[in-house]
Amino acid sequence: MLSIGIIGAGIVGERIIKQIQQENGVEVLAVYDEQQERLKTLHETYGVPIAATLEEVLHSQIDWLYIGTPPSSHASIARLAASAGIHVLSEKPLAHNAEDGEAMVKAAMDSRVQTAMHFPLMYSPAVREMARRIRSGSIGKIVRVELQTFFPDWPRAWQQNPWIASRSQGGFVREVFPHYLQLIHRLFGELKIQSHQITYPEQKDLCETGVIAQAIALQQEIPVLLTGLSGIGQKELLEFKVYGEEGVLTLENWSTLYVSEKYEERKQLTDLKPVPSLFEEMKKHSALLVPFEEGLVIQRYIDFLLTENLK
């Protein structure tokens, strides 16, 4: 039995609870959040044990601690868990910045605990099929990779909280881009961001409204284009596209996969093989888990994109 403690009971934390309750051989031993009313609601809805303090969770005989709090608190919580000999699963981004991320990596290494990042795309049948087709050469030589993210509003309607729109902690570059930057990193290796432009609103405490960046995947010298906009007149759309000489793969809105061929309409790929879940991989201590070291690579990309317009 894999035992999990949860710190942070927001929307994503609640999703983790629901996912765990659908797994075999995984249990939630304790949940803590500073919002006591929220804890009470989760206990009444899902029957999960709740804790009065963070320390109580750390002393509850858990194998792993999931950190689902705002990014600025990840480093301090991870260090406490590591010093207690507890493996750590962190929400993305890894930390508030790369400096905090480096401290998290060091704490885990010093205590010899295992780490993982919550990147659901890594355990998606559509993404695994996309990766298989790229690596098999079925779409030919890769000539470009693009990420396009469009949001009519940020924060999204389901994601309202005090920090998600803040310049210091929130924004779609921190919340959405890490998933796809990590996927690019797994598929194509190290990125070098060559230029970027980011736009912020006049109100100094609010997060970005737009970003565009040009990068290159160094191993194969593949051009990469990253774009994001919020506050625009269209429905939310996330498209991750890999252009090959013989075909194009499009991952749309997280989980819908299309393939295109020359002169043909794109086709949705629906016959996707099931893959092990995040928690199944955690039970196996799988190499498919994304460790903090890899999360730190992504954190450095995020930090760079959030800086004022460098060229």
pLDDT, residue 199, reads 96
Average pLDDT rounded to a whole number, residues 35-63: 96
**C-alpha 164: how far from chain center:** 15
Nearest alpha carbon to residue 302 among 203, 224, 196:
196
Q: Which of 68, 88, 117 is the last residue of a domain?
A: 117
For 9, the token pair is 């009971």
Q: Which domain holds residue 256?
A: 121-275
Q: Note whether 238 and 129 are same-domain residues.
A: yes
Q: Does 87 share its domain with 126?
A: no
pLDDT at 161: 83
Counted domains in the chain: 2
CATH value at residue 75:
3.40.50.720
Residues 139 and 104 in one domain: no
* pLDDT value at 310 more than 60: no
pTM: 0.95
> What is d(CA 292, CA 94) in angstroms, rounded to the nearest whole number?
7
The answer, yes or no, to whether residue 162 has pLDDT greater than 90, is no
Question: Do 105 and 127 lie in a common domain?
Answer: no
Task: Please tell me whether residues 151 and 193 are part of one structural domain.
Answer: yes
**pLDDT band at residue 309, thresholds of 50, 70 and 90?**
low
CATH number assigned to the domain comprising residue 179:
3.30.360.10
**Is 213 part of any domain?**
yes
In this structure, the answer to whether residues 97 and 126 fall within a common structural domain is: no
Clarify whether residues 243 and 152 are in a common domain: yes
Is it the case that residue 41 has pLDDT exceeding 50? yes
Same domain, 228 and 136: yes
Token representation of residue 205 = 């405490």
**283 lies in some domain:** no
The answer on pLDDT for 37 being more than 60 is yes
Does the pLDDT at position 160 exceed 90? no
pLDDT confidence bin for 311, thresholds 50/70/90: very low
- At 110-124, the pLDDT tens digits run 999 999 999 999 999
